[in-house]
Amino acid sequence: MQDDDLRSSSNVEDRRGMGGIARGGLGLGAVAVLTLIGWATGIDPSVLIGGAEMVTQQTQGTPQVVPRGTPNDEIGRFAAKVLGETEDVWAQILPQQAGRQYQNPVLVLFSDITNSGCGTAQSAMGPFYCPVDHKLYLDTAFFRDMQQKLGGGGQFAYAYVIAHEVGHHVQNLLGLLGRVQQAQESGNGRAASDASVRTELMADCLAGVWAHHMNIRHQNIDETDIRQAVATASAIGDDRLARQSGRVAMPDSFTHGTSAQRVQWLTTGLRSGTVKACNTFGG
Ligand SMILES: [Zn+2]
């Protein structure tokens, strides 16, 4: 993936190295593994579902005031470019395809731990989107873990992770995130899990839609990039992670969908380039 032509977003809050609460007794290896499992098995839904109670925490916590801009290091610059391209693509296609104006989210880069509008953000949770403050939270160490522990990696695979979280922001702007909460409030665990999986798969598809349009604008991804992202999507399916951790893969416990489902929806978005094709709630 070439990122030379991408505009850097200035909507990045760089909180790395700002310290925070001590992490306790977990070893680094355990944290890294938890990070991967956390991302693939449910931090976004739990954040979404827990939205209401977490607002309370927001008022109690001390908000961190961090100036926004574009980081200077390699990974920070890359994240800012990917974010900038999501801003440009979604500002163009959301009005065209869904009749809504796009509002830019903020990308918070942090190390280990930080505060979010949805409660404390920790590396172990993996990247997530907080619908309360419209911010994406990412510990960039996650990219290193993808590479080392999942055999994933590659720039487009990292871009896909950011684009997936931006996909949740698009869902939020479209008023689609309430479905998970409604299902949860109904007390029907199966319905809640189902809504959560559909929400995650739609975010994968929306990441694909973004990549489709980025490639029209810049011709900057090739088959190898797509294979890497698909390999990543496949590696972080709930079924694969369950097997890797020695658990039995139980579809009812999935919150992100199986490897095959994730690959299918990412590919659907990539091929079609349309939000409409991402209606995971339709079938
Ligand atoms: Zn997600």
The per-residue pLDDT for range 55-72, each reduced to its tens digit, is 333 334 455 678 899 999
Statement: residue 2 has pLDDT above 90: yes
Statement: residue 190 has pLDDT above 60: yes
| Residue 200 Cα to ligand 1 middle (Å) | 5
| Residue 116 Cα to ligand 1 middle (Å) | 16
| Residue 40 Cα to ligand 1 middle (Å) | 8
| Residue 202 Cα to ligand 1 middle (Å) | 9
**In percent, how much of the chain has pLDDT > 70?**
75
Mean pLDDT to the nearest integer, 41-59: 36
| Residue 172 Cα to ligand 1 middle (Å) | 12
pLDDT of residue 38: 53
Beta strands in the chain (DSSP E): 12-14, 68-69, 106-109, 113-116, 119-122, 128-130, 135-138
pLDDT of residue 119: 85
Mean pLDDT to the nearest integer, 214-234: 89
Residue-wise pLDDT tens digits, 169-185: 999 999 988 777 788 78
Q: How confident is the model at residue 231 (pLDDT cuts 50, 70, 90)?
A: confident
Residues whose Cβ atom is located within 5 A of ion ligand 1 = 44, 200, 203
Mean pLDDT to the nearest integer, 266-280: 96
Looking at per-residue confidence, does 259 or 237 come out higher?
Answer: 259
- The residue type at 272: S
pLDDT of residue 142: 84
Statement: residue 200 has pLDDT above 70: yes
Radius of gyration of the chain (CA): 17
pLDDT of residue 58: 38
Taking every pair of C-alpha atoms in the chain, what is the biggest distance, in angstroms? 50
User: Is the separation of the CB atoms in 108 and 135 below 8 Å?
Assistant: yes
| Residue 130 Cα to ligand 1 middle (Å) | 11
| Residue 128 Cα to ligand 1 middle (Å) | 7
- The residue type at 246: G
